[in-house]
Amino acid sequence: MVVGYLVNPSDRSVVHNPTGAFFRYDEAGALRLLNPQTIARGEETPLIAEGAKEALRQEVERDPRIRLIWLA
């Protein structure tokens, strides 16, 4: 598990707890940052986004039913 991220399959979101960065993901697993202003230093955004992708990947690996939720 990637520390600091919360993945919520029911609303297709990933939250980075330390910054409050809020991502939504689509059926393909592509993430979109909805509140970039929460990240104080913009250069950290790509690193936080990569962490969110990894957290989502690990969650899907842990519970493959999540992929079925995407397709529903």
Instruction: Indicate whether 59 belongs to any domain.
Output: yes
Q: Is 10 exposed, middle or buried (0-12, 13-18, 19+ CB in 10 A)?
A: exposed
Number of domains within the chain: 1
Is pLDDT of 68 > 70? no
pLDDT at site 12: 93
Instruction: Indicate whether 14 belongs to any domain.
Output: no
Give the integer Cα–Cα distance in Å for 13 and 43. 22
Instruction: Indicate whether 56 belongs to any domain.
Output: yes
Q: Residue 6 CA to chain centroid, in angstroms?
A: 7
Instruction: Indicate whether 38 belongs to any domain.
Output: no
The pLDDT-based confidence of 57 (bands split at 50, 70, 90) is very high
Domain with 64 in it:
1-9+19-32+43-72
pLDDT at site 27: 83
pLDDT at site 72: 47
pLDDT at site 32: 96
The pLDDT-based confidence of 15 (bands split at 50, 70, 90) is very high
